[in-house]
Amino acid sequence: MKVLLIEDEQRVSSFVTKGLEEQGHVVVQAFDGLTGIKLALQDEFDVIILDVIMPGMNGIEVCQRLKDENELNTPILMLTALGTTDDIVTGLESGADDYLSKPFKFKELLARISALSRRSAGGAKSGNQTLRIADLEMNLVSKEVIRNGIEIDLTTREFRLLEYLLKNKNRVVSRTDILENVWEVNFDLSTNVIDVYINYLRKKIEKGFSSKIIKTVIGMGYMIKD
């Protein structure tokens, strides 16, 4: 695996680089945001590890530049000391695919980047893959979500969450199920990241429409029911 590490702290960068190289990965280092953007756009990487707090251009700005302005598909793991629910949501909404708070265990870092790499390599199968419930339709190839003829703009994370719920319709899925299958990681369950994203999704696919789609099963989780 080829990894781009954008981290301004020399000690952290050296620690992560050494650990990844010992696992057989190739690591390219950048110590500021602008250099990281340049390297990310001129070469191909399997995963980008990105610090948030950096002088000049911070990681949120770097992520937005790569994902929004340049439409980079390389998965990005944010590695930072900022670990509140608001911080996590801000990072994910900027385009990051995962978020790991410092201090971290190196085994967890390895698990996260392996999951991101597998997800990126898997991609969507060819063909007209469509999921439906009531008047809502999701196309897994074109990444379009339409309800009652109206196209709904979802972020990557919201799309994956809705896809998971649709694939498990008529079944209650717990917060742990969602974390393991939508994020493919284990966030601290004391945070309310899942609830925040469920609310984001509800506002987009239910507000202004006659019926609700996502049901809350108190004490158990969420479900989409025919």
189 has pLDDT over 70:
no
95 has pLDDT over 60:
yes
Better-predicted residue by pLDDT, 188 or 21: 21
pTM: 0.65
Q: Tell me the C-alpha distance between 180 and 200, whole Å.
A: 19
Length of the chain, in residues? 226
- For residue range 109-155, what is the model confidence (pLDDT) as tens digits? 998 888 888 766 655 444 448 898 989 999 988 889 999 899 999 98
From 51-65, 124-138, 211-225, the region with the lowest mean pLDDT? 124-138
Say if residues 59 and 80 touch (Cβ distance below 8 Å). yes
179 has pLDDT over 70:
yes
- pLDDT category of residue 183 using cuts at 50, 70 and 90: confident
Q: Could you give all domains of the chain from N- to C-terminal order, each with its CATH number?
A: 2-122 (3.40.50.2300), 130-224 (1.10.10.10)
Amino acid identity of residue 220, one-letter, is M
User: How much of the chain exceeds pLDDT 70, in percent?
Assistant: 92
Name the average pLDDT for the chain. Answer: 86
Please give the average per-residue pLDDT across 69-90, as a whole number: 82
Looking at the DSSP assignment, which residues form a beta bridge with residue 112?
none
- Predicted local confidence at residue 124, as pLDDT: 45
